[in-house]
Amino acid sequence: MDYNYGIFGSHLLYSHPQSLKEMKSKFNDIRPVNKKYTSNDGGDYRARVCNVGIGAFLHELGHSFGLHHNYGVMLRGFDDFNRAFYSVELSTNNVWTSLITNVNDQYASWSKVDAEIMLPHHLFRLKSDPIIDMVDKNVQLFTTSSNSFLLYANVGIRMLAFYSNDGAKYPYYSTYEPALKRVNVDMSTSTELMNYKINNKVINLLVILKNGRMVDLGNIFSEVSNGLITANVFKSKRFGPIYGNQIEFNVDFTVNNNVRLLAIGVYHDNYVH
């Protein structure tokens, strides 16, 4: 069983509003923090501490739902949590300032990928939602060319999210509604993804299943490259359990007479047979 968790303390509760009526005053409290008695943890004045106290709690709560560092609340957007409620804010020199209301990384927002991950969680489930297998996280990957591959998941694939190690946002993602058991992906159609490959940068693939389970395939260019073999066949390192409607695994060596079969490894327990 997989578990996700986030850790957060109560050291900033003193700055939080105790009711909706106090929100405006707390989010615009520019009094300095007395560090002899309280923690500032992100700001020298109370409004900033209030932002971090509430926003960072939501950030850690996001981790408990399985979210990664990527965007908005799950990056550092919670530093300006007040901007999710008001179009003006009080500066430290006691001047009211109008805010730009467009949503980007500096605001306390959630990404599309975050929403898709949280959507099937049992805490958000409605009574009318169909019951699905919440355990199955089996994903098969078959390389079909140097830039393309086939994914298969019996429970259904709802989203593919490509993410980088050098940036916060997901540069490319695809959603499938309804969820698909079989998805063909051609990365050459995405300028963003191919730029990563041309510049020898790592791009990872996160597969989000219909049941909310996530399977991180890691460096997808490396995964696809490792799946390429001389013959025109599909190769997979991710077979997993067998289902009645699972994709048939065919090996065809007739397309290249020079190909030799060197070894076959059959895994059905902890050993190779």
Task: From 11, 53, 95, select the one nearest 61 (Cα to Cα).
Answer: 53
Q: Which residues contact 64 (CB under 8 A, 6 or more apart)?
A: 4, 5, 6
The residue ranking higher by pLDDT, 226 or 181, is 181
Cα maximum dimension of the chain: 80
The pLDDT of residue 157 is 92
What's the whole-number mean pLDDT along residues 57-66? 86
- Strand, helix or coil at 85? coil
What's the whole-number mean pLDDT along residues 145-165? 87
Residue ranges in 65-169 assigned as alpha helix (H): 112-118
Give CATH for domain 139-226: 2.60.40
Domain ranges of the chain: 13-110, 139-226
The pLDDT of residue 222 is 85
**Percent of the chain scoring above 90 in pLDDT:** 4
The pLDDT of residue 253 is 53
**Percent of the chain scoring above 70 in pLDDT:** 73
Q: What is the CA angle 43-44-46, rounded to 5? A: 80
Beta-sheet strands, E only, within the chain: 88-90, 96-98, 140-145, 148-164, 172-186, 203-209, 214-219
- 8 Å CB contact between 87 and 98: yes
Query: What's the rounded Cα separation, in Å, for the pair 215 and 219?
Result: 12
Task: From 142, 138, 139, 137, select the one nearest 223 (Cα to Cα).
Answer: 142
Whole-model pTM: value is 0.65
What's the whole-number mean pLDDT along residues 127-136? 74
Lowest mean pLDDT: which of 65-74, 136-145, 185-194, 234-243? 234-243
Q: In the predicted model, what is the mean pLDDT of the chain?
A: 75
Distances (CA, A) of 4 to 7, 157, 263: 10, 21, 39
Distances (CA, A) of 52 to 48, 57, 65, 120: 6, 8, 19, 28
What's the whole-number mean pLDDT along residues 34-52? 81
- Work out the pLDDT band at 160, boundaries 50, 70, 90: very high
The two structure tokens encoding residue 176: 């499938």
pLDDT tops 70 at residue 223:
yes
What's the whole-number mean pLDDT along residues 135-144? 82
The pLDDT of residue 234 is 42
Task: From 243, 163, 176, select the one nearest 205 (Cα to Cα).
Answer: 163
Give exposure, 199-216, as e/b (b: 16+ Cβ within 10 Å).
eeeebbbbbbbbbbbbbe
